[in-house]
Chains A and B, each alone.
Chain A
Amino acid sequence: MRHQPFETWLLFDDPLTPDQARALDEHLRACETCRALGHSWRSVASLFQASPDLEPAPGFANRWKARLVQEDQGVLTARYRWQSWITLILIANGVSLLGMLLGMTFFDTFDSLTEILLVLVYRLTSLLTVINIFQNLLAILIRTIPGLLSPSGWAILALIVSSGSLLWVLSMARLARMPGRA
């Protein structure tokens, strides 16, 4: 069985012409599907019509105001957070800029420092070379001098040098105690 246009007529608010109403009436007598559909729809519509507006719990406007304040505070907190982030970024930028400047200055100093180091190393090398030369000379003398005299000769020489030193110390002491001096 064809249910159109009867379904549409049943479900639309549009008024029907007398011919359409008669045709629908005839169809409904014969068609249980459309009859059930029409009845169901009318039940739904009357259920809707019988149901009034719903109200929120008392204090809705106050709750709204509280929420607005809360949201504004949230926005403010977010702004503060944002501001502190900006401050942090600015500080970080400042620090890195300072670091960069210091680095550049350090690079300049480093240049002259290398020179200083080079000079220092050069001086040190020269000093070590001189010491080394003297060491070598001393070694040669120590190795050659003992061969010049016999051991007894060295003993007599040591005796003469120590007696001379003693004589020098004693004469110096006597001179220091002489009146009219000092």
Chain B
Amino acid sequence: MNDNEAIWLAQAREGEKDAFSHIVEAYQRPVFSLCYRMLGDAGDAEDAAQETFLRAYRHLNRYDPGRSFATWLLSIASHYCIDRLRKRRLPSFSIDDEEYDWWQPPDPGPSPEMALVMDEKQTRIRQLLDGLAPRDRAVVVLHYWYEYSYEEIADTLALSESAVKSRLYRARRALAESWQLQEAQMEILEPDHVERIPYETPAF
């Protein structure tokens, strides 16, 4: 957080909406991006991101200035999206994410008025992430798009570090399997699409 942001935050704490608007402006991208990766729909992501900033504004007194503001915001966004995913998938969803059906049909996609470039890659990512349980999904998103460490993810999602590790392992496995399934489906639809991969030594 830069000096300007610290000033805006202090002003926002005094109830100045305009000051917090600058904060919204500064953090809209990471918050929206997280919500989009979590919910897979631009409209839902917009709504969730707006809600995140509203909650942050209303509970600004709960923010500890000793911690990262971005982490605090992303924590609000993650929890909100996890709740939303759980509500959305309530009928087929067990108490813990363990037995979650990891293959879901893709969402219809964002509304045309949302200025968002949705290419084939984004669709594929969305389909892959859709297969994950809400909390696992948050762990993956924070790890890959925010480059958060296990400790930071644990802090953001109120999990232990070992829980983050095991969730990440489980998620990677599910993602790899989901990828294989996608490839198999594409092979049926367009036999020329999938190139046979020669043996590769994994790069470590």
- Residues of A participating in the B interface, judged by any CB pair closer than 8 Å: 7-8, 10-12, 15-16, 21, 24-25, 28-29, 35-45, 47-51, 53-58, 60-65, 67-68, 71
Contacts and interface: CB of A to CB of B under 8 A. Distances in A.
5 contacts: A37-B177, A54-B29, A54-B122, A60-B25, A68-B54
B121 A61 contact: no
Interface residues of B, number: 48
B54 A64 contact: yes
A130 B35 CA distance: 102
A64 B29 contact: no
Interface string B184-204: 000000000000010111111
Q: DSSP class of B's interface residues: helix, strand, loop or mixed?
A: helix
A49 B199 contact: no
B71 interface: no
A12 to B, nearest CB: 6
B180 interface: yes
Given A42-B202, A54-B116, A57-B42, 9 more contacts: A11-B169, A15-B204, A25-B201, A37-B176, A44-B128, A55-B33, A57-B46, A57-B116, A65-B21
B25 A61 contact: yes
Contact of B33 (A37, A53, A58): A53
Interface of B: 17, 21-22, 24-25, 28-30, 32-33, 36-37, 42, 45-46, 49-50, 53-54, 57, 113-116, 121-122, 124-125, 128, 144-145, 169, 172-173, 175-180, 183, 197, 199-204
A64 B201 contact: no
A43 B57 CA distance: 39
A136 B114 CA distance: 108
B204 A54 contact: no
Report which residue of B22, B29, B45, B114 has the largest number of chain A beta carbons within 10 angstroms of its beta carbon.
Answer: B29
Contacts of A44: 128, 172, 175-176, 178-179
